Structure 1
Amino acid sequence: MKQRTKVIIDTDVDFDDYMAMVYLMQNPEVDVIAISVTGCGAAHLSKGVNNVANLLTLFGDKALTLPVLRGAKAPMRYSNVFPADVRTGADDHYDAPFPATNPSPQIHDAQTWLRNFFLNNEEKITVLSIGGGTNFGHLFLSAQNDEVLTQKLKSGIEKIVMMGGNILPRDITPGAMGNIEAALGDNVYYQNTVAEWNIFIDPLGAKIMFEFGVPIRLIALNATNDVPIEQSFVDELNAINTPQAQFLSAVLAYPANAAGIGTFLSFWDPLAACTITAPDLVTTETFQLLVWQELDEEDDQSASLIVDTVNGTAIDVAIAAFKDAVYAEYLRVLRLPLPDTKSSCPAKS
């Protein structure tokens, strides 16, 4: 039997994060060993931690003790945040009911757990980064003066699959502009048209991740724009009569999410999740990238990705995706029976 890919998920618990997490938890080729939560994106930290713990009740008793890691409350730089109404929806898990309240959640401090895990880990781990770079930015920063931890991280993390960023039209054809204004609707108050949300939330965290020396596959807006969430996909998901699919259908039926179907919602985080076991769903190109840090409130370019062949870090960037194949792969996994178990990793304090 093929060995399952071991994955740590790092999430801000938005609607598309649920799609990504359910896909990986349902996928028999994947062994999710921990889920770390950041409070810097969609959900606030305590709400996000509780929501992830309760999400595990969709996957049977053996999933209930999967480590849920309580991460950062604030970004490493600036204070960029989603609008309050967006965060309220995420905090309330989009009114989608969980089957139950997790009776035995295993909640740990993210930095302590991650540090101890990697210091003792001997297997290759894939990190799915779908909530900005804050948690792993802190971890990698703490390793800068710890040679043992640095080596264990570099040998233990096979790759990071990160949903974030965009290569602008000035650097590639077709390019992709940022998605901050498009996601805000009537809440437009940022003067930044070039950044993508996950990196915009914490550009320093993303910078540290880029430069640490672990291979990264960046699932950029250039690729996710090719996979809008269309009504045809939602209809097929609705037709799958499992608790997991019905939970996601309820998430997508939340009014603010439903309004984006066929318009501005894309397969952001679930596309990144799908590429862990099906990398051919996207085409990639390597760019030397910098994450722009300087904030200019009159012409904000912060968190944009700059192609710099001299100073940039080599990053594999997904620049295109195949919508029909992505839909088919995602729905295929959601139709599978629930795997017997999802984690072989003991909790670490």
Structure 2
Amino acid sequence: MKQRTKVIIDTDVDFDDYMAMVYLMQNPDIDVIAIAVTGCGAVHLSKGVDNVANLLTLFGERALKTPVLRGAQAPLSFSNVFPADVRNGADLHYAAAFPGVNPSPAIYEAQSWLHDFFMHNDEPVTVLSIGGGTNFGTLFRSAQQNPALQAKLLSGIQQIVMMGGNILPRDISPGAEGNIVPTLGNNVIYRNTVAEWNIFIDPLGAQLMFASGVPMRLIALNATNDVPLDQDFVNQLNDINTPQAKFLSAVLAYPENAAGIGTYLSFWDPLAACTIQVPSLVSTQTFRLLVCQELNEEDDQSASLIVDNERGAAIEVAISADKNAVYTEFLRVLRLRLPDTCSSQ
């Protein structure tokens, strides 16, 4: 019998995080062993923890006790945040109804749970980082002062798959500009044109992850730009009559999300999730990277990725993706029916 890939998800519970989480929870080849929530990105922390706990009701009794980890409330550096309307939509789980309220969720403090898990874990684990680097950046920073934990992290984490960053046109052709300003619409509060949101939220957290020594595949904007979230995909998703697909359809129907379909939304986090089992969905290139930590309000380059062949960490970066193959893989898993799925609580 094929061994399932063990995955810890680290999420800021945005619309595309729901897509990634549902795909992995639905995937028979994946064993999601914990979901860590950060309050530094789209969702506020307490709302995010509650939303993830209740999301588990989509997957029946087998999933209700999946550990939900209460992570960071503030980034390790700067104070960059999503605009209020984005955070409000995430807090409201985009008006998509959960089957019910998780009656007794298994909620833990993230750093304590992660420390104890890795100190006693002997099986390889993949980390899917789709909410910025604060939670695992904090863990890796702690490990710098704890050689035993450092050794356990290096042996226990098989790989980190992180949605984040972009290789700029100055470093690759074709390059990818940042997505801070383009995704803000009328809420232009930042003038940073070179960063990607997950890394922009906490540049230091991302740098600590990069420098951890754990193998990393970065699903950059260079690849996600090849997989726009378009109406054809949404139509196919809407045709799937499962509770999980219906939930995602409702998330995407939320007005602010629906307005981005076919315009500025991409398959950000679900692309990262899909590559855990099907890495061939993307083409990659290895770069030695640093995350820019300097803030200059007149020419803000913070959180941009610096190619530095002397000081940078070797990171496998996804620079292109096969849109049709990605859609096919995601929808294949969403069409599966779970044997013990709850329809109500």
Q: TM-score range by the shorter chain?
A: over 0.9
- Correspondence for 2:154: 154
3-state SS of 1:78 partner: coil
Within 5 A, what are the aligned runs for 1:184-223?
Answer: 184-223=184-223
3-state SS of 2:186 partner: helix
3-state SS of 2:184 partner: helix
Alpha-carbon separation, structure 2, partners of 1:142 and 1:233: 42
Within 5 A, what are the aligned runs for 1:73-222?
Answer: 73-222=73-222
3-state SS of 1:35 partner: strand
In structure 2, give the amino acid aligned to 1:88.
N
- Correspondence for 1:248: 248
Shift in CA distance, 33/339, structure 1 to aligned 2, threshold 3 Å: farther
In structure 1, give the amino acid aligned to 2:197.
W
- Displacement of 1:311 in angstroms is 1.1
- Displacement of 1:321 in angstroms is 0.1
- Correspondence for 1:347: none
- Correspondence for 1:345: none
Alpha-carbon separation, structure 2, partners of 1:159 and 1:339: 30
Alpha-carbon separation, structure 1, partners of 2:340 and 2:152: 30
3-state SS of 2:118 partner: helix
- Correspondence for 1:61: 61
- Correspondence for 2:42: 42
In structure 2, give the amino acid aligned to 1:249.
S
3-state SS of 1:184 partner: coil
3-state SS of 1:223 partner: helix
In structure 1, give the amino acid aligned to 2:312.
G
Alpha-carbon separation, structure 1, partners of 2:146 and 2:7: 24
In structure 2, give the amino acid aligned to 1:71.
G
- Displacement of 1:191 in angstroms is 1.2
- Displacement of 1:310 in angstroms is 1.1
- Displacement of 1:338 in angstroms is 1.4
- Correspondence for 1:3: 3
- Displacement of 1:339 in angstroms is 5.8
Give the TM-score of the pair, scaled to structure 2: 0.98
- Displacement of 1:183 in angstroms is 0.9
Alpha-carbon separation, structure 2, partners of 1:182 and 1:330: 26
Deviation string for 1:48-69 (max 9, x for gaps)?
A: 0000000000000111010000
Give the TM-score of the pair, scaled to structure 1: 0.97
Alpha-carbon separation, structure 1, partners of 2:11 and 2:141: 19
Percent identity at matched positions?
76
Q: Is the 8 A contact 1:144 1:150 kept in 2?
A: yes
Deviation string for 1:67-90 (max 9, x for gaps)?
A: 000000000000000000100000
Q: Is the 8 A contact 2:61 2:340 kept in 1?
A: no
In structure 2, give the amino acid aligned to 1:222.
N
- Correspondence for 2:317: 317
Q: Is the 8 A contact 1:45 1:70 kept in 2?
A: yes
- Correspondence for 1:283: 283
In structure 2, give the amino acid aligned to 1:16.
D
In structure 2, give the amino acid aligned to 1:334.
L
Q: Is the 8 A contact 1:26 1:339 kept in 2?
A: no
- Correspondence for 1:271: 271
In structure 1, give the amino acid aligned to 2:115.
R
In structure 2, give the amino acid aligned to 1:218.
L
Q: Is the 8 A contact 1:64 1:105 kept in 2?
A: yes
- Displacement of 1:145 in angstroms is 1.1
Alpha-carbon separation, structure 2, partners of 1:326 and 1:79: 34
Alpha-carbon separation, structure 1, partners of 2:189 and 2:45: 23
- Displacement of 1:101 in angstroms is 0.4
- Displacement of 1:114 in angstroms is 0.2
